[in-house]
Every structure is written in C-alpha cells, then in structure tokens.
Chain A
Amino acid sequence: MSEIIKLSATELAKKLRAGEVTAVEAVQAHLDRIAEIDGGDRGLNAFLHVNADEALAVAAEVDEIRAAGGTEAEALHPLAGVPIAIKDLIVTVGQPTTAASKMLEGWMSPYDATVIEKIRAARMPMLGKTNLDEFAMGSSTEHSAYGITRNPWDLGRIPGGSGGGSAAAVAGFEAPLALGTDTGGSIRQPGAVTGTVGVKPTYGGVSRYGAIAMASSLDQIGPVTRTVLDAAYLHELIGGHDPKDSTSLNEPVPALVDAAKQGLTGDLSGVRVGIVKELTGEGYQAGVQERFNESVEVLKAAGAEIVEVSCPNFKYALGAYYLIMPSEVSSNLAKFDGVRYGQRVLPEEGPLTIERVMGATRAAGFGDEVKRRIILGTYALSAGYYDAYYGSAQKVRTLIQRDFDAAFEQADVLVSPTSPNVAFEFGAKSDDPLAMYLNDVATIPANMAGIPGISVPGGLSEGLPVGIQFLAPAREDARLYRVGAALEKLLEDSWGGPLIDQAPELAAATTGGAA
C-alpha cells in the first residue's frame, strides 16, 4: 500500500505544499487503490463512478500552479490537490449522478451543487461518486440499486448508511476525504461503523443546493474523514451562506480548524459534557456501551465536567422522524416521473397515457424502501390524517428542541454512542425495516432539532469500530471539533495510533478493476 494514501488530508496537504508529493501522484495513488480494492466480487464497491481523467487534470493544474509559484500559488486553498470522493446524491457536472437509483441511471446534471462549486474553486480533484442507499434511504447501503458496499473492517458486514460508500472509501484509504449527507444519521452512523469521522453540521450551515432532497427540513451535507482536523478543514470550505438555499444561515462559518487544534491539546478544562440518559443503556450493545463509558472517563480525565441530562421526549423522536421524513420524501420524489429526465418506462400493455407512463416509471425506477417511504408519507399527509400524523410529529419536533435547549443549559456538549450497535452482517435486518430504523435512534434527534453532531472513533467491540457522538447547540459546531479532537487525541494516545491502523489489510480484489 502506498504511503500517500495512509496520510490524513492535513498531512497530505502539507506534503503537497512542501513539494514532497505532487497532486498527480496523490490522485494516482488513490486511483490505484480504488482499482485494487473497489471492484470485483469481494471489492468494497464504494464507488459508483470513478472520475480519473478529470481528477488527474485538476491535480496537474495544481502542480503547475505550485511549480510556477507566485501569487496564484500562494492563493491556493490549503486543500488544493487533496482528492475527495462525493456521495452520489450530490449533483456534479461531468459525472453521472444517480442517487443509487435506477430512476436516474445515466443522468448527467447540467449544473453543479454549491458544495461542488466550492470543491472546484479549491482545486480539489474529485475521485468519483460514492454508493449509498437509494435516495439516501437506509442505514446499511444495502438499498442501493447498484449493489452493496462492503465495510473495510469486515467485508461481510455493512458500512452503515446511507453514506456507506463515502465512509467505506475513506476507511479503506480510497480517499482521504469525502462528502456525505445526513438526514437522520447518514454521515455519523456510517462513520461510527467504519471507524471514521463524520460530521452533520448545523442545519443551514452548508448549502443544500444540489443535494438531491430526501427530507428538506432534515438534510445536511457534511464531511467524512479519518481525522477531526481534516473534517474541520473540509467543513470550513463547504460551509457558509448560499443565496440559492433559502434555509442557509446568513453568517460566517465558525473557526472550526482553530477549535480542532485547540482540542488536540487534550485539555477540556471547563467544558461541561452531558450524558443523555435516554441515549444509553437498554438497546445499546454491551461492547458499544463499554467503549462509551471508557470515552466518558477519558473526557473526565481531560478536565471535562461530566453531567447527566435527561431528554424525556427523545423516545418519540424515531416515531416522529418516520412521519416527517417520509412526508417530505413523498413530495420531494414526486418529480421523478420520467417526463423530463431519468428513466422512462412504458407500461407493458394498455394505453400510453401520461398517468400510466408515470406509474410504470415509478414502479420500475424506485426500490422497495423508497416506495415504502413514499407510501408512508403520502398516507401521513392525507386529508383526515394530517393533524394526527404530520401535525403531531411537528409538535414532537418542538418538544425535542426544548429538551435540547434544557440540556444545553446544563452542558456545553452532549455525548452518546453514535449507533446502538457495531456493523451488522449483510441481510441481518433486511426483512425487518423497523429493526433497521433503530440504527438511527441516537442520531435522529439532532436532525429533528437542526443541531450539529459529530461521530468520532471510540474503539472496537468484537473487532469492529464503535462511534462516539457529540452534539452541540445550533451554530456551535466549533464545540464539536474541540471536544471531538480532544477525545480523538487522547484515545489515539492510549491506542498508540489511529484506530484505523487496526483495520485489516485489504487484499487486492480477486477480479480486479475499478467499478
């Protein structure tokens, strides 16, 4: 394995600036890695599309600018030349965007998402598009129309979801950085089960323009990385106000890199950390609970004041989420009808009316989980049910926000396990949607309240990664980076290196070749 791919984004950026590594070398090393381990029967299948030519061309430009020196070289973004993978829910010019659905097979967006414009402006080579549960609906990436993605820690297990592709790519050293989207935990839960770092920013902190909407009031784009500091750099790049997104916050991005660097001193004196009573104990695997308890001890040793807080309405969060999210899904996905773009499927018999073509297209184009949520949401919004379902769920949302408000009076950040369990085996929950939904029980409250959350590696249980989640009040993303970086540093000190170093070496895929 090339040493380049083992570098964190921050380390790689430093070597690029110092001229020790060229951007082309960096991109090529990652492309080689993708070619080596992504394809084939036992490959990760993290990528749905590999963007080799463009990535190399962007890298070459960066190298030229650096070689020429002068003001243009000095003006390069710190992450210039550092490659990145993009969740295939985010639209990109020049690469297909499928949302892992048959519905959008082969669809090429004529416009870039705002975050992609920022990635391009920073001259970060895009390695390609990563796999996900179809339209980001799932917790295992088993619901992709283009096959499962494997967890680099155990190729027989799920990489989490919906952003399993981005998490697996970063955990498997196919990319130092990736973008994900988090509606109910789709960045943080895959981060937890792959031993990587995932951040869901404050709602409105990062533009959603160009992220294919699942549930508009919950979705948020965020970083997927191997270190907290890397996430801070990427978050600062993609964050900020976007006039194209009415829900984006009109204020500057907080100083996240500074916060992460402060955390890396390992000192948490004066920081109040709240343990959410409702997000521990029953329902959490013993090994997960043990790693969590150890992390709390580490925080305490670093000077943090540990308090216990109660969020009594969290028990309604999952139920309310599964009304609000599908309601918005049912409307957001109505546009996929075969009329303007994407797949068009004609009915096998009978007249070709618009209704029948739309029906046939949607019947063939959407997978079962997507259909399940569209039907749920359509029902929840129907006349006569709206107040009882959507209306009540919105009230629960307010209650959850109040629980958080009260909790944050006692604590600066809250802490919990990210996921109640470690990565499970493929198929283990496929027949039981409700068991699958429980994966997100700890991550959903943050989306319901619009607050930021981070998942950092917290050790292993049964040889598989456990994630520790921190939550902070809206707009206080910086707190997550400080506390997350501190825990990361102190745990790595105790492990003698990053957790990811304990992951098994991946053998070259048997049948080779990139996806």
Chain B
Amino acid sequence: MAAYTADLVDFDEALERYDPVLGFEVHVELNTRTKMFSDAPNAFGDVPNSNVTPVDLGLPGVLPVVNKTAVEYSIMLGLALNCQIAESCRFARKNYFYPDTPKNFQTSQYDEPIAHDGYLDIELADGEVFRVEIERAHMEEDAGKLTHMGGAAGRIQGADFSLVDYNRAGVPLVEIVTKPITGAGKRAPELAKAYVGAIREIVKALGISDARMERGNVRCDANVSLMPKGATKFGTRSETKNVNSLRAVEHAVRHEIQRHAAVLDSGEAIVQETRHWHEDTRTTTSGRPKSDADDYRYFPEPDLLPIVTNEAWIEEIRARLPEPPAERRKRLQADWGYSDAEFRDVVNAGLMDAIEETIAAGATPAVARKWWMGEISRLAKNADVEPTDLGATPATIIELDSLIQGKKINDKIARQVLEHVIAGEGTPGEIVEKRGLAVVNDDSALGEAIDAAMAEMPGVVEKIKGGKLQAVGALIGPVMKATRGQADAARVRELVLEKLGIEG
C-alpha cells in the first residue's frame, strides 16, 4: 500500500509556511418515503434487494419519474443554504460502468443544479464566524452497495467476488459543493468539522434527512490543498473520500495538511487523487488518480423533462422552513441565561431539544439543565443509551422538582425516584407513595435517631460544643442510616444544634 506511512510535518509548523484551501462535497441522503425516480421504498437496513422495482434494477424498457418531494426537500435545503433556486433545471446522465449503478449511468444534475450561489455562516467554538460560500446543491441518485467477499477487510483488492444490494440504488441525494474556502489557517480542521456539523444540523432541523453519518446519510468528501503563505494560486488538491464522522472530518483535514506540507517541503508535487481515510490509524492512503480528464460523457437526461420552479412554489416552501439552527441556538441561550460553556455542553450532549421541551412544560432553565445534564446523562451513560432514550420525560422532571420544592423528598431521594421511573415503576409521585420514600419530617422520630447518634459519639458532640459546627456532618451519616436515608439533612443539622443550645 502506497504512502501509508508518509512523513508528516508538525501541524503548527506547516501552517507557518502554508495556507490551506479547503473544499467540501457533502452528500445528504433525503428521507423521502420513496426513491428519487421510482416508487420503491427508501428504507435502510431491509433485506438486500427487497426495496427495488424494475426501475431501480435498470431493467430493459423502464423510465424514471422524478420524486416531487425530493425536489421540494432539495429546494428547502437550497433556501436554508441561502442559495438561488433555479427557475429551470435539468438532470443529466453521468456515464460510467460500475456494477453498483444498475443502468451504468447515474442520473444526476450536472450543469444545471437546482440551487446555486449560497453561503453558510459557521460559528466556531469561540464565537468566530467563517462564511463558507456554497457553489451549488444538486440532486442525484445514490448507487447500490457493494460488499466485497473474501480477501482482506472487505476491500475490493483481493476480494473473490462482490455482492450488490440495490436497496440504496436510487435513494435521493443532494450534493452540496462549496467554493474554495481560504483564510481558515490553523482553524481549518475545526472549520471542517463545524461546517459538516452545521450541514448535518440543518438537514436534521429541516426534517429532510435522518442525518446519521454512521449510516451514510451524510457523507463528506474533503478537498485539501496548500499554497505557500501569501500566495494566491491554489495548490494541487487531494480529495479524501467518505469521512464518516465529524471527528474524522477534523482529523482528515489536519492529516492532509500535514501530509501535503511534508510532500511540498521535500520539493515533490502533490498528486491529484482521491485518498481513503482510515479511522484506525487516522491516516489517508492513495486511492485512484483523479484527473480533470475523467470523462463521464454527461448529456441531458432525455427521459426527464426540465424541472421548472416558480416564485409561488418557492415562497410556499420557504414559509415552511423552520428557524435556522444557529439562530435558534442564539435565541435559546439568551432566553435560558446559560453561560457559553453551559450552553455548549448542552448542545454537544444533544439535549437542546429536550431542555427546550422541559422548559416549555414549566420547568425553570436551571432545573431542566440540572436534571438532563446531571443525573439523566449519568444514568444514560451507564446504560449506554442516549439520554433522551432513557425514559425520563419533561413531566418526570417537573414532578420530581415539585416534590423537592414541596419538601416531600430531598435531592438524594429524588435521584432514587428517577431510577425507579426509568425502571418503569410509574410516575415520581406514585413511586414515592408506593415505596414510602418521603422525607422523614417527623421531628420526634428524628429526635430519637439524633439522640442515639449523639450518645454513640460523645467526642463529636464535644467538638460541636467547642464551636466546630462542621462536625455535625459526622452525626448526619448515622441518622440517615437509622432513617434509611429519608431524613432531611438540613433538618437534622437544625435539630442537633437546637438540642445543644447553639445558634445555627
């Protein structure tokens, strides 16, 4: 395998000598009910070759019909990317022989994309904003999925044969192509991650894609080139394919910058080629050489009429667009009064929606954050599920909080109650009732436990009398034990001091 252990230049050092230029092609699989050109179901994970019609198999005589929902979704995405929507656009045929493409051509937009000339403002963690210019967003169909059998690690090299599943063939895709991104400098890897993350967030918010990168719903090809610091002529680029997580996007861009710098430093030329990303080693290896002379013999798809849009239709679609994710985030953070760090944690934990719902249901922002980011996240991590899939709802949180506020339970018991809620035992109120978990507020019962504890620990009592009030803590443990945790610690403290005649 070529250039597997290419020398790398230290990242910061590379950036002292070179300016990186980035470019991204992000493929988004749309979650329409049916495929781009047929009425076969668009579904993931079904029995291979079950979601196919004669059209998807490219049988003799079949004709494509454009999925109108896919067109509307593409327009939505174009609008969300601040693009112009074409008044009229066509599909073309991209001709090449490969068994994952049943017709041996891919039906794709070529010189007439449905959306063009847009931009997306990308906010980095520290608030710096980069504007990424969008060249185009065009519609196309996905290819089938090849599984290479025999040979090493599922690669085509050395495989004995390949299996093909056409369930994915014809799934609607939008490919978003950026203009060259300059000026990111050291922040290029970070920007790459943030850009792809923003696309993912937008298509999710629009509801037009399941946006699961691990399933290939969002796939990124990252173009990287370097030019000497201060130069304006772009260097030769490499295109790293199918970088399938946000973290991988960041690492791949970083790696390619370091690799390019090493090649350029040694006086050699960068080969224009596709590179394959390897998550395990966090390196890329050479794929096939890619020249601008790749000849796909594009020509307008004669089986389809041009797609003609009009203002009324576009405005009707625009009216359906949700608030852009970045604006929504700004609004929510201001509304909730979270610090930047607190809010970023919430976003990273994927709990913004849950917290919004919880606040809408009546919780204070602080309470919503405390539960979702605290106990619920902890339990979810233990159970290895998403916090929102754990079984706790906004109603759970509101009820727990009101039990605490009403002094029926304390924080510690509330956490126990939550575990029982998750176990499916009922609502917090029902569980407190059923399990007898209410805080012991009966001072006479507490008094007995306190007396017993004080009798057992005369040394502690002496310390408290001597002014060391924090020594009360030593008594709380035994009291809690005696009351099976149902004592209110604050009340225990009060009663101890009262008994000893000390002002708390």
A residues neighboring B (CB under 8 Å): 90-91, 97, 99, 104, 107, 109-111, 113, 208-213, 215-217, 243-247, 327-328, 330-331, 334-337, 339-341, 354-355, 358, 378, 381-383, 386, 390
Contacts and interface: CB of A to CB of B under 8 A. Distances in A.
B65 A109 contact: no
A99 B60 contact: yes
Contact of B58 (A216, A328, A340, A386): A340
Interface stretch (B91-99, B131-139, B244-252): B91-99
Contact of B299 (A97, A109, A113, A327): A327
Interface residues of B, number: 30
Interface in B366-403: none
Contacts of B105: 331, 334
A91 B102 CA distance: 18
Q: Which secondary structure dominates chain A's binding surface? A: loop
A334 B66 contact: no
B61 interface: yes
Contact of A246 (B63, B97, B102): B63
Contact of B65 (A215, A246, A390): A246
Interface of B: 54, 57-66, 93, 95, 97, 99, 102-105, 162, 164, 293, 295, 297-299, 302-305
A205 to B, nearest CB: 15
B59 A217 contact: no
Contacts of B304: 246-247
B97 A358 contact: yes
A440 to B, nearest CB: 19
Contact of B62 (A209, A243, A334): A209
Contacts of A217: 302
Nearest to B99: A339
Contact of A208 (B63, B103, B162, B293): B63
A213 B61 contact: yes
Contacts of B66: 246
Interface of B: prevailing SS: loop
Contacts of B103: 334-335
Nearest to B104: A334
Residue picked from A99, A104, A209, A390, most chain B C-beta under 10 Å:
A209
B97 A378 contact: no
Contacts of A210: 61-62
B167 to A, nearest CB: 14
What 4 A-B pairs are tightest by C-beta distance, nearest first? A334-B104, A381-B297, A217-B302, A216-B302
Contact of A209 (B57, B61, B164, B295): B61
17 contacts: A91-B61, A111-B54, A113-B61, A216-B302, A244-B65, A245-B65, A246-B305, A328-B302, A334-B95, A334-B103, A335-B102, A335-B103, A340-B57, A354-B99, A355-B97, A378-B297, A386-B298
A87 to B, nearest CB: 12
A337 B104 contact: yes
A331 B63 contact: no
Contact of B61 (A109, A355, A386, A390): A109
A455 B305 CA distance: 29
A381 B58 contact: no
A383 B297 CA distance: 6
B60 A331 contact: no
Nearest to B57: A340
A247 to B, nearest CB: 6
Given A331-B297, A335-B104, A354-B99, A211 B58 contact: no
Nearest to A248: B63
A52 to B, nearest CB: 24
B58 A335 contact: yes
Contacts of A213: 61, 63, 303
A211 B60 CA distance: 8
Nearest to A98: B60
